[in-house]
Amino acid sequence: MTRGRGILIYDGPDGAPLMDISIEFNGDMYASGYGQDFADFMKGVYSRDHFRKQISAFNKRRYGYPEGPIWREGLPVPSPLSAHEHGYSDYTFILNLSSRPVLLAFPGDGKSDHESSPVTHYLPVRTLAIDDFGHCCNQMDDLDNFRGISPLPDTLEDAMSPAFAAKSRKQEAIESLAEHIEKIQEELAGIRKSLETLATAEAQGL
């Protein structure tokens, strides 16, 4: 059974990065299974609350587990961060919503085996990385890989380059628009419920 979970990185109260880790989903979390669906919604997450909502929606859509969406929350982010040190899963989807790039380690990308020195890449702001059994999917170039993910830079300088900064601003604008749309939808749902309640009351002669 191919497992998968999500990690959201964000700024803590003192500015240091923290992370929330979702529950684990057991079965078909590879790209051609449910993994692409997971990656697609992770790229659009814009806050901790939205992360919870999206994990819950994915669970309802694909698995139907009874537990809540978050396994652990508010954990400090080590440097480098290796997904395997925080609840090993076959696929780990890591989104960086903090204000700075985060150094990631991929033990499976060493020169010989998992015991060799891990390869490291920087995860720029508002970027998604996918760890596949300790390998970085972002650096892979094959037909079975996930769609819509970008290669990760090897240096902090590259991670903070104008190219990634422009991408971050564009993604931030998209996420802001998505947040506004979600709020409008919630308001419309409230109005619709009020109208339905009023119509019911009028039909009953109240």
Q: Domain-by-domain residue ranges, the chain?
A: 3-203
Task: Give the number of other CB atoms < 10 A from CB of residue 131.
Answer: 28
Q: What is the DSSP letter of 32?
A: I
Task: For residue 82, give every residue at least 6 positions away whose Cβ sits within 8 Å of its Cβ, in sequence order, or none.
Answer: 104, 105, 106, 107, 118
When pLDDT is averaged across residues 51-76 and rounded to a whole number, the result is 95
Q: Report the chain's mean pLDDT, rounded to a whole number.
A: 86
In contact, 79 and 102? CB cutoff 8 Å: yes
Nearest Cα residue to 109 out of 84, 79, 144: 84
Instruction: Give the predicted TM-score (pTM) of the model.
Output: 0.78
146 vs 83 pLDDT, higher one: 146
Structure tokens at 120: 């490291």
User: What digits encode the pLDDT tens for the residues 112-170?
Assistant: 444 557 899 999 999 999 999 889 999 987 756 899 898 999 999 999 887 776 565 55
In contact, 19 and 7? CB cutoff 8 Å: yes
User: What digits encode the pLDDT tens for the residues 161-206?
Assistant: 877 765 655 555 566 666 667 778 777 888 888 888 887 877 777 6
Nearest Cα residue to 128 out of 36, 53, 61: 36
